[in-house]
Structure 1
Amino acid sequence: MKIEKEVIFNVNKAKVWELLTNPSITKQYMFGCEVLSNWEVGNTILWKGYTEEGKEVIYVKGEIIECKKGDKVTFTMFDPNMEIEDIPENYLNLTYELIEINNKTLLRLTQGNFATVTQGKKRYEESLKGWEMVIPIMKQIVEH
């Protein structure tokens, strides 16, 4: 149970990298969440947003496993608000890989393995639905 998506953006790789790593841009498509990280291996990554009441919430936390800035990043991810145990076995990996082809960029997104985590089926379905909502917005932001 893995999510694998390939999306072509009609812009160069640098613009897609910016889309994925700039908090003021992620806030526009990732349900109001800013991605916070220095993109160094071993360091944290947080997706921070606010509730309707204005309370700050960390919606996703994890650690950078691999990062080749501008090309590829892999990080672990866990929603601390789910009522499941915060143990390494419940973290998922998400990889963004960027390949530039004729001034366009292919984003290869891989998330999983949902089969190995608690509530895997539910988390898989929610993530799949989330990506289907977010990807068109990502394209719209970066291509206009």
Structure 2
Amino acid sequence: MQIEKSILINATPAKVWEVFTNPEVTRKMGGEYISDWKAGSSFGWKGADGKMYTQGVILQIIPNQLLQHHLFRPEDGHSILSTITYEFLDQQGSTLLLAKEDPVESYEDASAGWDAALQAVKELAEGL
């Protein structure tokens, strides 16, 4: 079952993009993304404790517009758990951030997690 979420952020797409790609900003969410931000490159979330919590590969990337990546199953590190897509849509100085995850095995848990994550992105981007 696919999850689709969106949130309107009172910040430009460039500022919202920075929440993902600038470790100084991202650390305010309790960790940082580890990647060189190129298609085909590894992508993962490292917590403040130094542990890698997620791993994947970037499929598509257009700065300030699109980020799509796989997430791998933590058990084996290479079986695809889901594909996540973020779209950053310019709304006259604000950003409509669209997030999709497909497929999702535990819909309820993942859906609630998305709500919290998007709210954190909104708060950080609007504070920049």
Q: Fold-level match, TM-score > 0.5?
A: yes
Return the alpha-carbon distance in structure 2 between the equivalents of residues 19 and 112 of structure 1: 23
Return the alpha-carbon distance in structure 2 between the equivalents of residues 50 and 15 of structure 1: 22
Q: Which residue of 1 aligns with 2:6?
A: 6
Q: Which residue of 2 aligns with 1:137?
A: 120
Per the normalisation by structure 2, the TM-score is 0.88
Q: Percent identity?
A: 31
Asked if structure 2 preserves the Cα contact closer than 8 Å seen for 1:59 and 1:79, the reply is no
Which of 92, 96, 100 is the matching residue for 1:106?
Answer: 96
Return the alpha-carbon distance in structure 2 between the equivalents of residues 23 and 126 of structure 1: 26
**How many pairs were matched up?**
127
Superposed, which structure 2 residues align to 1:111-130 within 5 Å?
Answer: 111-114=101-104, 120-121=105-106, 124-130=107-113
CA RMSD in angstroms comes to 1.7
Per the normalisation by structure 1, the TM-score is 0.79
How far off is 1:21 after superposition?
Answer: 1.9
Q: Which residue of 2 aligns with 1:57?
A: 51
Q: Which residue of 2 aligns with 1:48?
A: 46
Q: Which has the higher contact order (CA 8 A, sep 6+)?
A: 2
Task: Give the unaligned 5+ runs of structure 2.
Answer: none
How far off is 1:26 after superposition?
Answer: 2.2
Which of 33, 36, 40 is the matching residue for 1:35?
Answer: 33
| Structure 1 runs (4+) greater than 6 angstroms displaced | none
Q: Which residue of 2 aligns with 1:76?
A: 70
Asked if structure 2 preserves the Cα contact closer than 8 Å seen for 1:13 and 1:105, the reply is yes
Return the alpha-carbon distance in structure 2 between the equivalents of residues 63 and 129 of structure 1: 24
Greater C-alpha radius of gyration: 1
The superposition leaves residues 42-73 of structure 1 with CA deviations (integer Å, 9 ceiling, x where unpaired) of 1101111144xxxx311000001011112101
Identify, as 1 or 2, the structure richer in strand.
2
